[in-house]
Amino acid sequence: SVPKGLADAIAHAEPFVGGEPFVVSLGDSLIRSMNPGGVLPRLIDTHVREGAAATILFETVAPEDVIRYGIAKPAGDPGQEFAVADLIEKPSVEDAPSTLAVAGRYVFAPTVFDYIRRTQPGRGGEIQITDTMRLMLQDGLPVWGVRMGEGERRLDIGNYRSYFRAFLEMALIDPDFGEEFGEFARARLDQDAE
In angstroms, give the least distance from the CB of 157 to ligand G1P: 10
In angstroms, give the least distance from the CB of 174 to ligand G1P: 23
| Residue from 9, 13, 23, 26 in contact with ligand G1P (CB under 6 A) | 26
The span from the CA of 30 to the CA of 140, in Å, is 31
Residue 166, CB-side half-sphere exposure with 13 Å CA sphere: 16
Positions in 63-82 near ligand G1P (CB under 6 A): 69-70
Does residue 158 belong to the site contacting ligand G1P (CB under 6 A)? yes
CB-nearest residue to ligand G1P = 70
Q: How far apart are the first and last CA of the chain?
A: 54
Does residue 104 belong to the site contacting ligand G1P (CB under 6 A)? yes
Question: Which residues, other chains included, contact 179 with Cβ-Cβ below 8 Å and sequence gap of 6+?
Answer: none
Nearest to 8 by CA among 155, 94, 90, 125: 125
Does residue 128 belong to the site contacting ligand G1P (CB under 6 A)? yes
Strand pairing class (22-25; 70-74): unpaired
Does residue 29 belong to the site contacting ligand G1P (CB under 6 A)? yes
Binding site for ligand G1P (CB under 6 A): 6, 26, 29, 69-70, 89, 101-102, 104, 128, 130, 158
